Structure 1
Amino acid sequence: MRLELKELTGICISTTGNIENTVIQGVTKDSRQPSPQSLYIPISGEKFDGHNFVMQAIEQGAVASLWKKGTPVPEELESSFPLLFVDDTVEALQKMAKLYLKKVKPVVIGVTGSNGKTTTKDLLEAVISTTFKTHKTQGNYNNHIGLPLTILSMENDTEVIILEMGMSNFGEISLLSKLSEPDLAIVTNIGESHIEYLGSREGIAKAKLEIKDGLKESGLLIVDGDEPLLQHLSSHNVLKCGYGEDCTVKIVNQEGDEDGFTFELEGENMVYSLPLLGTHNVKNAAYAIAVGHYLNIEDSMINEGLKNLMLTNMRLEKYRGLNGALLINDAYNASPTSMAAAIEAVKALNNYKRKVVVLGDMYELGPSEEEMHRGVAKHIDDTITDVIAIGEKGKWIGEEVLKKGEPSINVAIFTKKEEASEAVRSLLSQEAVVLFKASRGLALETIIKPFIDDVQGAGK
């Protein structure tokens, strides 16, 4: 980015120092990281106050700083150093992002949903970057601080920005949508993530649909057309993607194997190729194709983008492991919906005689967490040969599979993931595919590493 500091004076109460001749080329909230020619954003938390680290930020390259009115200015700070005084530094950060969006004027795409946000974001980038200069959310910068930082990190000639919007409670998506005013908004699905705070799937749907709050009047809303909780949406500016008869973007002629899928969209002549596991990812790809059509990207370029997709780590990530086994690392996070989808992806791999699912704790499920864990068992049939359940909550999955009394399914239950390592190792062979899936807090990927003998992986 490039901004003259004087362009920001409208969001300030007052300023000091050399505002007129200062140019910033980035923003930072981390005084520990090198940030040349940046504007420092001091954020106050429960255990720290970023204002205390302004001198360190200057050492790292900051040339100006926001400053909360009433906070003492360090005596050692030179009087010429530019300070922009505001009532609240986070609110000022958000106003800066809004101002910068209006300056750059990219097409804004907002993405939310219980599962699949990051994969959809990656698919969108793969498609759109074939034709336009594209910027997207990095990592988990998808909240009231991360999203404006994402906006402010785009280059001045960005044509399309893809903003992932996360939440844990009501009102959060609304704030992000109003801040960014998307041209297109996508709701990937409605699952159970954060049900502890939102009370029900209906509550989750209501919170996700807050993405409409800032949608431009001429904007387009793209949703999961197979989700009953979104069926009430009907308008000329709503697209429903999926497999049902009522979908406006309908997936047909789908075929898949361990290398991914081919599929078509009804009414089109293009056969799309997707190098990803999981039927749910075909729908995520359909969202990206719909956006590509909106942006008038040629079908051949859309398909080329999908084929060259680069995914964020630990999303159905494939490795060729010990003894030639196929290892699938989907351990970034988990909810009942995403765990079921991952299990279905493994069940569809017909070239493997041994299908192993290593499943662990899922968090933030509220009072119904035991029921939701046990509910995963209904997706496990005799297509699966081995279930390894890990954790205080994960054990409920294993117990429920045992209750089914299916003799062809071997079940092992472990309290700690380290205890499960040898059980997994004993199952690895060329005929085995092994899925690893749990919530982020379990860090299940740590038990995969010893089994990987080729870090490049199959399909990486």
Structure 2
Amino acid sequence: MKTAQLHNIFLEFPEICTDTRKIKENSIFFALKGDNFNGNKYASAALENGAAYAVIDEKEYAESDKHILVDDVLKTLQELASFHRNYSNARVIALTGSNGKTTTKELINAVLSKKYRTIATKGNLNNHIGVPLTLLSIKEDTEIAIVEMGANHQKEIEFLCSLALPDFGYITNFGKAHIEGFGSEEGVIKGKSELYDFLTKHNKHIFINGDDPIQFKKLGSYIKKYGFSSDQKEFYRIEFLGANPFVKLSFENCNIESQLIGSYNFTNCAAAILMGKYFNVGVDKIKDAIESYSPNNNRSQIISHKGHQIILDAYNANPTSMKAALENFAQMEGIHKVAFLGDMFELGEIAPAEHQNIANLARELNFDDVILVGENFYKTSTSYKKHSSFGELKDFLKDQKLSPESLILIKGSRGMALERILDVV
């Protein structure tokens, strides 16, 4: 079946499902494959559960005219998404970066939705499957689509751009993330900059942090760039007013107090403000959008728990974000400060050194207590309490009581799932 024909079916049944456990009535089921599953086996079940069609790529499972047989289900999904993006009149904003992508995406959506009909990447569905699903969520009346793009190897952002064909782009930052795949910090910069490469090649618009020397240098002579800065006169002025604990900032004599902790969230807010100004969203509406946004999903949340104040930042971690979180924690006021730090993944050969650097930094910042969790932190040279697994930490915490009214930081990579600490402290 040609992509145009499949798109006509999609327009009639514009709901895509890839998981038979979440089938919606009159959706199209795409039988994706993975290392440990074969969606083709569940195509008939998807139809029985209400799907209108099932797209498969193994002939033996084509049991009816509701089974659409293609050469490759994933490739078909991607081609359909690209076709639909071209069919739509929506303007596409793409963003990537080492840290802060999802928070920035949500802030941009909060601001722009004050004036426009928007859609945005759900959660962090930002890879070769998530981006197509986001593009396919564009409706007939969608005016702006905000598409988050993640990558851990070269050429991935380039490929995602070929699907999304963004009109605008923004890179949050370049940090020590996914070094195992990118090879080095220079590799990270090169990989993330594939978004800039696409936009400049096609003469599209770029938003930048004018205070970031890497971005400033890369785009110094590019005309279609719009930046924010605290001191660069050629860019839109947004001033950082502090973060104790919540980020405060100012633009056009308008002061904003966000619900986001840490100075590292200033640029995330500033990017959303910049785009709001570019798209002519009113200052009052921008202020309301930023101040109303509340973080969730274990991202820089401040919660009260059994008398303690907890900064729950357990969604992800790399050396750059870990350093920022610790430095911010050091500036916060607390009677008794405790940091739970979990392993940082996908660092490859630099993992031992980077975990040792973080342990050393924690020592320099002189917290009341630091507890390290994970195989990498367990190998560090430090006097801090170390546990090679969460199970060991759990056993330790059963017999350990934290000081009353402690200020607690919980930070680690997603695979560590350190939010489980809340169940045992």
Alignment TM-score, normalising by the size of structure 1: 0.83
Letter in 2 for 1:359: L
**8 Å Cα contact 1:328-1:434 kept in structure 2:** yes
Following superposition, the deviation at residue 246 of structure 1 comes to 7.7
Following superposition, the deviation at residue 346 of structure 1 comes to 1.2
Following superposition, the deviation at residue 384 of structure 1 comes to 2.3
Instruction: Give the secondary-structure state (helix, strand or coil) at the position aligned to 1:271.
Output: strand
Give the one of 331, 355, 372 matched to 2:354: 372
**8 Å Cα contact 2:15-2:26 kept in structure 1:** yes
Letter in 1 for 2:52: V
| Number of the residue aligned with 2:83 | 99
Compared with structure 1, are the counterparts of its residues 246 and 392 closer, same or farther at alpha carbon in structure 2 (3 Å cutoff)?
A: farther
Compared with structure 1, are the counterparts of its residues 382 and 312 closer, same or farther at alpha carbon in structure 2 (3 Å cutoff)?
A: closer
Q: Which moved more, 1:356-365 or 1:370-379?
A: 370-379
Following superposition, the deviation at residue 203 of structure 1 comes to 0.7
Letter in 1 for 2:38: D
Following superposition, the deviation at residue 281 of structure 1 comes to 0.4
| Number of the residue aligned with 2:402 | 427
1:437 and 2:423 equivalent? no
Give the one of 5, 22, 25 matched to 1:9: 5
| Number of the residue aligned with 2:206 | 221
| Number of the residue aligned with 1:415 | 388
1:48 and 2:21 equivalent? no
Q: Which moved more, 1:107-116 or 1:132-141?
A: 132-141
**8 Å Cα contact 1:32-1:56 kept in structure 2:** no
1:190 and 2:163 equivalent? no
* Bigger fraction of residues in helix: 2
Following superposition, the deviation at residue 304 of structure 1 comes to 0.2
Compared with structure 1, are the counterparts of its residues 10 and 419 closer, same or farther at alpha carbon in structure 2 (3 Å cutoff)?
A: closer
- Name stretches of at least 5 consecutive residues in structure 2 with no aligned partner: none
Following superposition, the deviation at residue 115 of structure 1 comes to 0.9
Following superposition, the deviation at residue 6 of structure 1 comes to 9.3
Alignment TM-score, normalising by the size of structure 2: 0.90
**8 Å Cα contact 2:10-2:28 kept in structure 1:** no
| Number of the residue aligned with 1:321 | 305
Compared with structure 1, are the counterparts of its residues 378 and 220 closer, same or farther at alpha carbon in structure 2 (3 Å cutoff)?
A: farther
- Separation (CA, whole Å) in 1 of partners of 2:168 and 2:48: 40
Q: Which moved more, 1:281-290 or 1:248-257?
A: 248-257
| Number of the residue aligned with 1:457 | none
- Name stretches of at least 5 consecutive residues in structure 1 with no aligned partner: 12-18, 403-410, 452-460
- Separation (CA, whole Å) in 2 of partners of 1:427 and 1:247: 50
- Separation (CA, whole Å) in 2 of partners of 1:138 and 1:382: 36
Instruction: Give the secondary-structure state (helix, strand or coil) at the position aligned to 1:55.
Output: helix
Following superposition, the deviation at residue 45 of structure 1 comes to 3.1
Letter in 2 for 1:269: N
User: Where do residues 251-400 of structure 1 align in structure 2 (5 Å cutoff)?
Assistant: 251-258=238-245, 260-265=246-251, 268-322=252-306, 324-350=307-333, 352-377=334-359, 379-380=361-362, 381-382=364-365, 384-395=367-378, 399-400=381-382
Compared with structure 1, are the counterparts of its residues 151 and 310 closer, same or farther at alpha carbon in structure 2 (3 Å cutoff)?
A: farther
**What per-residue deviation string (whole Å, max 9, x for no partner) do you get for residues 350-379 of structure 1?**
3x1322211121111111111111122454
Aligned residues: 419
**8 Å Cα contact 2:210-2:232 kept in structure 1:** no
**8 Å Cα contact 1:418-1:447 kept in structure 2:** no
Instruction: Give the secondary-structure state (helix, strand or coil) at the position aligned to 2:345.
Output: coil
Q: What RMSD over aligned residues (CA atoms) do the two structures have, in Å?
A: 2.7
- Separation (CA, whole Å) in 2 of partners of 1:342 and 1:46: 35
**What per-residue deviation string (whole Å, max 9, x for no partner) do you get for residues 365-397 of structure 1?**
111111111122454334522211122212356
Following superposition, the deviation at residue 338 of structure 1 comes to 0.6
User: Where do residues 166-205 of structure 1 align in structure 2 (5 Å cutoff)?
Assistant: 166-205=150-189
Following superposition, the deviation at residue 160 of structure 1 comes to 1.6
Letter in 1 for 2:13: I
**8 Å Cα contact 1:184-1:219 kept in structure 2:** yes
Instruction: Give the secondary-structure state (helix, strand or coil) at the position aligned to 2:375.
Output: coil
Give the one of 238, 262, 277 matched to 2:225: 238
Letter in 1 for 2:419: E
Following superposition, the deviation at residue 43 of structure 1 comes to 2.0
Q: Which moved more, 1:174-183 or 1:249-258?
A: 249-258
- Separation (CA, whole Å) in 2 of partners of 1:389 and 1:47: 32
Compared with structure 1, are the counterparts of its residues 156 and 177 closer, same or farther at alpha carbon in structure 2 (3 Å cutoff)?
A: same
- Separation (CA, whole Å) in 2 of partners of 1:360 and 1:74: 44
Instruction: Give the secondary-structure state (helix, strand or coil) at the position aligned to 1:62.
Output: coil
Following superposition, the deviation at residue 303 of structure 1 comes to 0.7
Q: Which moved more, 1:47-56 or 1:109-118?
A: 47-56
**What per-residue deviation string (whole Å, max 9, x for no partner) do you get for residues 121-175 of structure 1?**
1111211122222211112311111111122123332222111101110111111
Letter in 1 for 2:206: L
Compared with structure 1, are the counterparts of its residues 249 and 202 closer, same or farther at alpha carbon in structure 2 (3 Å cutoff)?
A: farther
Following superposition, the deviation at residue 446 of structure 1 comes to 0.5
Runs of 4+ in 1 over 6 A off after TM superposition: 19-22
Q: Which moved more, 1:278-287 or 1:247-256?
A: 247-256
| Number of the residue aligned with 2:111 | 127
Compared with structure 1, are the counterparts of its residues 361 and 244 closer, same or farther at alpha carbon in structure 2 (3 Å cutoff)?
A: farther
| Number of the residue aligned with 1:408 | none
Instruction: Give the secondary-structure state (helix, strand or coil) at the position aligned to 2:157.
Output: helix
Instruction: Give the secondary-structure state (helix, strand or coil) at the position aligned to 1:143.
Output: coil
Compared with structure 1, are the counterparts of its residues 240 and 440 closer, same or farther at alpha carbon in structure 2 (3 Å cutoff)?
A: same
